[in-house]
Amino acid sequence: MIDHFNLPVGNLASSRRFYERVLEPLELRFLMEDGDAVGFGTETWQFGIVATQKPFPRLHLAFAASSRRAVDRFFEVATSIGARSNGSPGVRSEYDSDYYAAFVLDPDGHNIEAVCRKHGAR
């Protein structure tokens, strides 16, 4: 399994502000800044953003959420700070009957998802 992942971003400061807000409902927090990189996680660097010269590919990244409510909060926070919706919260039965997810586009156009796969998790 993956230990950590770093996402390329065009503007480190802007992306840091975005991820500090949208990762909070998913129980991930800012941990450290290391040169041109910023790390988030619970206790260790699990997700990072790295200042990168454009062009770079737009990626899809899904974060696990502990509940459907956390997915809803992720989407509410992201869209309230200007992220564009790429799929409002809801069940995606085409993936799995318990797949509850929301999708937003981050400041660089990456498709960022929060997903809860727990049966009946509110």
Q: List the domains of the chain with CATH numbers.
A: 5-51+58-116 (3.10.180.10)
Tokens of 4: 């950590």
Nearest CA-CA partner of 71 in 93, 46, 44, 91? 91
pLDDT at 122 over 90: no
Query: How much is the CA Rg of the chain, to the nearest whole Å?
Result: 14
Give tens-digit pLDDT for 67-98.
Answer: 999 999 999 999 999 999 999 999 999 999 99
Q: What percent of the chain stands above pLDDT 90?
A: 92
pTM for the predicted model, two decimal places: 0.92
For 17-76, write each residue's pLDDT tens digit.
Answer: 999 999 999 999 999 999 999 999 999 999 999 999 999 999 999 999 999 999 999 999
**Predicted local confidence at residue 32, as pLDDT:** 96
